[in-house]
A = this chain, B = another copy of it.
Amino acid sequence: MKQDIRLSEVARAARVSIATVSNVINDKGRVSTATERRVRRAIEQLGYAPNLLARILKTNQSRLIGLVIPTARPGRLQDNPFYWDLLAGIEEGARDRDFHIILAGIEEGDETFAFVKERQLDGLIYVGASEEGGAVERVLELGVPCVFVDSYLRDARLYQVCLDDRLGGLLATQHLLELGHRRIAVLPGDIAPERLHRNGVLQERWSGYRLALEEAGVGYDPRLFMRYPTSMEGGLQAAAWLREAGDVTAVFSFSDISAMGIVKGLRQEGLGVPADISVIGFDDLCLSGYMSPALTTVSQNIVQKGLAAIRLLVDQIEQEAGFSRKVVLPVELKVRETTGTPA
């Protein structure tokens, strides 16, 4: 499909040079109103649409933003509905500001990010980057504007969007403590305690959990640290463990998706939620409020997170960057039906 109408044809039709047509299109002025009208009519009649590639080649502005998301199992994006809401926000914001989103699932270890240079991307939104593996360094070397979402990178010069995760952890745990729980298990994800500090999001939520315990004068028992994948399946496994444990009366899962698995699992094991065990999650997925029983959780506005990320990035691209490089979005405790006083 060779371009059917190009600048030169519009120029011929309007009896002007291609430079003039270009000037009209890009509002460069230097064109009389008479010819401008002639040109516009020609564009209209021929149904001309500019070839962005040629333009980008010349101007180096692709109006294309890469959305980088690490894949989970080899090659497939993680199956957490969380991402869809995030994407909805990002896409909406991009469209408003006349950018397009290109999706790039990557395998963090061996990704070279060649596509960024090849396609001349204007910027990158990197979700859940981890400081290990060198992927972040490789991204930064590209010299392309970048916003990191949920990444907690140490370098203060980086643009980042995250949540008040620690407060979230604090609120969740305080809520359980106030209900009278003392044996509160915690499920950060598929990660060992000693590696927790490598993952900012989990680390922060964890800090909140520990802080709340401390303030309440409740000792921390390392045996209450569970390690299962962040998925429905992981939640089921956690539930099985909880029944074995026996004395646990509440669980704080760091994500709704595994919290749902836990609720499901506990009920299958014949335990009542919240009668026997209280469950609290994190995220407030659009479904969480509609489960039966409805999930108590720490709520974040995921769509807003996406919007914030794209705004930060586009401002940066268009050199309108504000003072702040880090946006911290609020959390809110949503008490619903899966938490109650211990038996």
Mark A residues whose CB is within 8 Å of B.
1-3, 49-54, 56-57, 60, 62, 64, 75-77, 79-81, 83-85, 87-88, 91-92, 95-96, 100-105, 114-115, 117-120, 143-144, 232, 235, 257, 260-261, 263-264, 267, 286-287, 289-294, 303
CA of A56 to CA of B57 in the docked complex: distance in angstroms?
10
Contact B79 A84 (CB under 8 A): yes
CA of A32 to CA of B83 in the docked complex: distance in angstroms?
49
CB distance from A9 to the nearest CB of B (A): 14
Contact B81 A77 (CB under 8 A): no
In the complex formed, the residue of B with least CB distance to A263 is B292
Select one of B1, B79, B80 contacting A144, CB under 8 A.
Answer: B1
Contact B105 A287 (CB under 8 A): no
CA of A257 to CA of B287 in the docked complex: distance in angstroms?
8
CA of A111 to CA of B51 in the docked complex: distance in angstroms?
18
In the complex formed, the residue of B with least CB distance to A83 is B84
Known contacts: A2-B60, A105-B91, A143-B1. The answer to whether A49 contacts B117 by CB under 8 A is: yes
Contact B290 A292 (CB under 8 A): no
Known contacts: A57-B54, A76-B88, A292-B267. The answer to whether A95 contacts B100 by CB under 8 A is: no
In the complex formed, the residue of B with least CB distance to A273 is B292
CB distance from A79 to the nearest CB of B (A): 5
CB distance from A164 to the nearest CB of B (A): 23
Q: Chain B contacts of A289 at CB under 8 A? A: 232
Q: Chain B contacts of A56 at CB under 8 A? A: 53
Known contacts: A1-B60, A92-B77, A291-B291. The answer to whether A120 contacts B51 by CB under 8 A is: yes
In the complex formed, the residue of B with least CB distance to A105 is B91
Select one of B80, B118, B290 contacting A50, CB under 8 A.
Answer: B118
Known contacts: A76-B88, A92-B76, A102-B102. The answer to whether A119 contacts B53 by CB under 8 A is: yes
Greatest chain B CB density within 10 A among A64, A83, A88, A267 is at A88
Select one of B100, B103, B114 contacting A119, CB under 8 A.
Answer: B100
Q: Chain B contacts of A51 at CB under 8 A? A: 57, 117-118, 120
Count of identical protomers in the assembly:
2
Q: Chain B contacts of A303 at CB under 8 A? A: 76
CB distance from A258 to the nearest CB of B (A): 10
Select one of B57, B103, B144 contacting A57, CB under 8 A.
Answer: B57
CA of A102 to CA of B119 in the docked complex: distance in angstroms?
12
Greatest chain B CB density within 10 A among A91, A119, A287, A293 is at A287
Q: Chain B contacts of A292 at CB under 8 A? A: 263-264, 267, 291-293
Q: Chain B contacts of A263 at CB under 8 A? A: 292
Q: List 6 A-B contacts (CB under 8 A).
A: A49-B118, A51-B117, A81-B287, A95-B105, A260-B287, A260-B290
Greatest chain B CB density within 10 A among A53, A91, A96, A115 is at A53
Known contacts: A102-B102, A103-B100, A114-B49. The answer to whether A79 contacts B286 by CB under 8 A is: yes
Q: Chain B contacts of A75 at CB under 8 A? A: 92, 95-96
